[in-house]
Structure 1
Amino acid sequence: MLWTDVLIYFVLGLGLGTLGGLFGIGGGLIAIPVLGVFFGLDQHLAQGTALVMVVPNVLLAIWRYNQRNRIAWRQAAALSLPAFFMAWGGATVAANLPGTLMRYGFVLFLLALAAYNGWRLYRPVAGVSERVPTTSQLGVLGFCSGISGGLFGVGAAVVATPALTSIFGLSQVVAQGLSLAMALPTTSVALATFAAHGQVAWITGLALAAGGLLSISWGVRIAHALPDRLLRSLFCGFLVVCAIGLSLR
């Protein structure tokens, strides 16, 4: 790989890291369609490579979110344990599925998330009172989120975040912090699984990660400065753009 290629991936990582910090997702959801559509990586390689960037970005984002709004670590642990095991199983299945099937499944996953978030954003509701989720409720959410995190390399956080805001009334920022804490073990085990199957372009992923680590704090700062409703609107639009980009490949 040429140094110019490394520089391109580094600059791309800067943009992806900002989005990852803004939406609490590590940047992987947009990295996967970008790597597939513009750089010609197949679905498996795109997902595995994106994870190289996502894992350190998520770790840094957790630190930044915890600095600004303390994460409830007991709740995060209740989410993370079942998510970890389901992510391992989901990643093992994903590594052996046909690439085309994986790509279309990923597109449908993004569209479903966008539809749900859009419906939540514009439906007339009286509001949901904030309440503390029980350990069993968090375990069920972690179970479901872990499956998506394993199958698609990313996704655990984008499943957990809307559930935490709509069902338990948590603010978007608090929900994103909890979801990030759960995403770290799920993305780590998914990366290890994809790497074991030879489905990671390490140099590309490390260049993306370097750019992302420099910029993710910007996204976190912006997230805490934006109104909650605007942040949710941007999150919904972000999912639609990702789905369209990947489906056009």
Structure 2
Amino acid sequence: MPASTDLLITLPLGAALGFFGGVFGIGGGIIAIPLLVLAFGMPQPLAQGTALVLMVPNLLVGWWRYNQRHPAPLRPAIALGVLATLTTWVASHFATRLTPTTLRIVFSVFLLLLAVHLLTRHRRNAAQVDAARVNARLIPLVGIVGGSSMGLLGIGGGLLATPILTSWFGLRQTTAQSLALALVAPSSVIALITYASAQRVDWGMGLPMAVSGLFTVSAGVALAHRLPERRMQAAFAWMLLVTALWLLLEPYLLRRLG
């Protein structure tokens, strides 16, 4: 396919992913990876590595902007980021050695469990603070959970870290999100480097998507503030559920039809 034709596909695609990433408050990878697998036929490891190209600039910019308004406590942020980065490095090396089929199943199950959790959890006020149940000195250990997810799946660090920090450690939502960004931003860079060194990145597709996505993420964030939060969360959860089931069932259905 000519390069000009590639750009006609990747630039609008990146813009759309950046926009919806802004709407749903995510890095875009959780949408991009299934799309690259199902619509473009990418093997799961290549899709995860390519999606990281899109996610890294969004996460780094998001980290910088969020900390301007809600600075993270320095010492726990550094400890969390360091431990998450090391864990990401180990997990991503492990992920690049898995077969595409195995990694696809692991990714699909993660999406499925996340969707079920989002659909069944009790709605709470974002400003509500739970009583701390775990000593705050253990906060850096959350980096192991988030880093493992970032390295293995290329996504999920913030999705896992934020609720743990609020419900287990009693942190405010803004503090938890700031610490979660301190976890996922450097972890995403390490994950991308590892996937790239293992030849699991399509730069020709990832770079144009990353560039165009940066121009639309702000518009997505602006729209998110105008939409009903509960309906958005429900729509996002149902989208994840359908995507996870399709990722799991598509190979079986294709074999039956073949």
| Aligned equivalents of 2:233, 2:169: Cα separation in 1 | 16
- The structure-2 alpha-carbon separation of the partners of 1:23 and 1:161, relative to structure 1 and needing over 3 Å to count, comes to farther
Match of 1:150 in 2: 151
How many aligned positions are there? 245
Whether the 8 Å contact between 1:94 and 1:151 is mirrored in structure 2 is yes
Match of 1:9 in 2: 10
Q: Which moved more, 1:13-22 or 1:100-109?
A: 13-22
Q: Which moved more, 1:73-82 or 1:43-52?
A: 73-82
- The structure-2 alpha-carbon separation of the partners of 1:8 and 1:245, relative to structure 1 and needing over 3 Å to count, comes to farther
Deviations 1:143-190 (A, max 9, x none): 111111100112211111232343345565654443223111111111
C-alpha displacement at 1:37, in angstroms?
0.5
Match of 2:247 in 1: 246
In structure 2, the residue corresponding to 1:121 is in which secondary structure? coil
- The structure-2 alpha-carbon separation of the partners of 1:66 and 1:128, relative to structure 1 and needing over 3 Å to count, comes to closer
| Aligned equivalents of 1:155, 1:221: Cα separation in 2 | 23
Matched, 1:52 2:53: yes
| Aligned equivalents of 2:8, 2:182: Cα separation in 1 | 30
Matched, 1:72 2:82: no
- The structure-2 alpha-carbon separation of the partners of 1:215 and 1:169, relative to structure 1 and needing over 3 Å to count, comes to farther
| Aligned equivalents of 1:85, 1:207: Cα separation in 2 | 29
C-alpha displacement at 1:121, in angstroms?
3.1
Aligned-residue Cα RMSD (Å) equals 2.7
Identity within the alignment, %: 44
Equivalent residue runs for 1:1-249 within 5 Å? 1-67=2-68, 69-74=69-74, 75-121=76-122, 128-129=129-130, 135-168=136-169, 175-224=176-225, 229=230, 232-249=233-250
- The structure-2 alpha-carbon separation of the partners of 1:223 and 1:136, relative to structure 1 and needing over 3 Å to count, comes to farther
Deviations 1:73-94 (A, max 9, x none): 4243232121111100000000
Q: What is the TM-score normalised by the length of structure 2?
A: 0.83
| Aligned equivalents of 1:60, 1:115: Cα separation in 2 | 30
C-alpha displacement at 1:27, in angstroms?
0.3
| Aligned equivalents of 1:172, 1:52: Cα separation in 2 | 27
| Aligned equivalents of 1:65, 1:17: Cα separation in 2 | 17
- The structure-2 alpha-carbon separation of the partners of 1:138 and 1:218, relative to structure 1 and needing over 3 Å to count, comes to farther
Q: Which moved more, 1:193-202 or 1:72-81?
A: 72-81
Q: Which moved more, 1:36-45 or 1:174-183?
A: 174-183
Letter in 2 for 1:15: A
Whether the 8 Å contact between 1:18 and 1:217 is mirrored in structure 2 is yes
| Aligned equivalents of 1:245, 1:105: Cα separation in 2 | 14
Whether the 8 Å contact between 1:113 and 1:159 is mirrored in structure 2 is no
Whether the 8 Å contact between 2:135 and 2:169 is mirrored in structure 1 is no
Rg larger in 1 or in 2? 2
- The structure-2 alpha-carbon separation of the partners of 1:130 and 1:27, relative to structure 1 and needing over 3 Å to count, comes to farther
Deviations 1:208-232 (A, max 9, x none): 1012111112233344555665554
Q: Which moved more, 1:137-146 or 1:92-101?
A: 137-146
Letter in 1 for 2:143: G
| Aligned equivalents of 2:73, 2:227: Cα separation in 1 | 25
- The structure-2 alpha-carbon separation of the partners of 1:162 and 1:245, relative to structure 1 and needing over 3 Å to count, comes to farther
